[in-house]
Amino acid sequence: MNDAMKSSLPELVWPPLPSGPAASMLAMLRYLDESQWWDADRLVKSQLRQAEALVAHARSSSPYSSDRLKGFSGSSPLNMERWRELPLLTRAEIQEAGDLLHCRHLPPEHGETFTTTTSGSTGQPVTTRGTGLTRFFWNVLTLRDHCWHKRSVDGCHAIIRVFDFPAENGLEQPDWGAPFNQVYTTGPSALISLLVDVSKQAEWLLHVNPRYLLTYPSNLKALLEIFDQTGDSLSNLRQVRTIGETLTSDIADACRSVWKVPVVDMYSSQEVGYIAMQCPDGDCYHAQSENLLVEVLDETGNPCGPGQVGQVVVTALHNFATPLIRYAIGDYAEVGEPCSCGRGLPSLRRILGRRRNLLTLPTGERFWPIFGTRTFRDISPAIRQYQVIQTALDRLEVRLVTDVALSVDIEQKLRELVVRTVGYPLGVDFAYPAEIRVAAGKHEEFRSEI
């Protein structure tokens, strides 16, 4: 993307000379280009040096952290053994701490603070503060993702997510917005709200015909179904990017089948930013170790090895406004083998979702079920939206939004599909709501209420 780089001097067209925020972001991006290849030990040592500074600041400036980290002094160098002695921070504790978790003093170099409140899709919304420094790292990692996947910034970038404007025609902007327009001369962007009916979104996409599309996996799934039925194509599309939900293999496969393009997923949260991004050379996700210390822990609190699933625990290394130290974010992931690409950044094989997305059988077995919209629609094209809820240890409720009433025979076929998917003869009930509401655009195919 160097050919599109902006110059701070209008007379100096080439080579471009960036300045200000653009120069700082490019300098950090250059550093990250090197640090991604460090071995694991070097990365961890660097993370712990930064974690020491964070813990020291939190103990002195955050009333809640001062009590929580009592007895943890910097008298000796921090290592992973001592690090794991620190207690985990839960969403409930963040809620309980309230303003006491925020730091009373902040290094002025970190810039202005801002407040973020999560969507509450977990039932436990949390409010945190960020700084100019945390936003800086978010922007740099956004640029890293684009550089990793060699995207061309001169094309149109379409974005479908929750926006305040409900206009069915969407909005068009002359560039890709920050941070891209600070560094590069880009093509236009086009935005439409997720709240617009998906059939209208499909019409809008045909009009915009973007090179890249960013949206949620569940919305992508609905769009692919429409395009599969109509046979329409997006001739300019080169790649789809997904955020906010678990990307399942059936959605990625459908995208390659219908639109003939790959899907690149990003794992992030409002509280801490990018947690892991898909490797440009493999199928795994790489933890963004220069900004976060990411741990995957088993039920005893020990680190998981390759192939093991555990809860994701993150530490935001540069947030000195709201110290999120060993924050159990509520997600689960599977640890991957070291990536064949050679990067030292830790690998995650799969992002599995939250505990509430975990199905529990009467036998005690637990797993994350994947049903797949296509299998539902193969049985009945009248199904527009679905969700499976575990209402009891031995019972599921399938919620369906349909164009027409389903027959008893169709319900029986759906019941057999669900039982076959979970591999256990659970009872299956059906409900027909007018719509299935989602929080901040995040649809959950399966949720447990037990």
- Residues facing 295 on adjacent strands: 313
Contact 389, 328 (CB under 8 A): no
Q: pLDDT at position 111, please?
A: 95
Measured over the CA atoms of residue 348, residue 350, residue 354 and residue 360, the dihedral's sign is negative
Q: pLDDT at position 120, please?
A: 52
Burial class (CB in 10 A: 0-12, 13-18, 19+), 30: exposed
User: pLDDT 10s per residue in the chain (450 long)?
Assistant: 667 888 887 888 788 888 899 999 999 999 999 999 999 999 999 999 999 999 999 999 999 999 888 877 666 778 999 999 999 999 999 999 999 999 999 999 999 999 988 765 445 678 999 999 999 999 999 999 999 999 999 999 999 988 877 677 899 999 999 999 999 999 999 999 887 888 899 999 999 999 999 999 888 988 998 999 999 999 999 999 999 888 888 899 999 999 999 999 999 999 999 999 999 998 899 999 999 999 999 999 999 999 999 999 999 999 999 999 999 998 999 999 999 999 999 999 999 877 777 788 898 887 777 776 567 878 888 887 788 999 999 999 999 988 888 999 999 999 999 998 888 999 999 999 988 876 555 667 788 888
Q: pLDDT at position 184, please?
A: 94
- Residues facing 310 on adjacent strands: 333
Q: Go through the domains of the chain in sequence order and give each one's CATH number.
A: 359-448 (3.30.300)
Give this prediction's pTM: 0.85
Distances (CA, A) of 364 to 247, 354, 359, 394: 26, 18, 10, 11
Contact 57, 320 (CB under 8 A): yes
Contact 172, 262 (CB under 8 A): no
Contacts of 415 (CB under 8 A, 6+ apart): 398, 428
Which of these, 265, 213, 217, lies nearest to 239 by C-alpha position?
Answer: 213
Distances (CA, A) of 206 to 158, 217, 365, 411: 11, 19, 45, 35
- How far from each other are the two terminal CA atoms of the chain, in whole angstroms? 50
DSSP state of 235: T
Summarize pLDDT for 123-167 with one digit per residue, the tens. Answer: 567 899 999 999 999 999 999 999 999 999 999 999 998 887 767
Q: What is the DSSP string of 158-218?
A: EEEE--S---TT-EEESS--TTHHHHB----EEEEETTS-HHHHHHHHHHH--SEEEE-HH
- Residues facing 398 on adjacent strands: 388, 430
Residue with tokens 């929580």, as numbered in its chain = 68
Q: pLDDT at position 138, please?
A: 97
Token representation of residue 171: 């909005």
H helical segments located in 192-303: 198-208, 217-230, 249-258
H helical segments located in 62-164: 63-68, 80-83, 91-97, 132-148
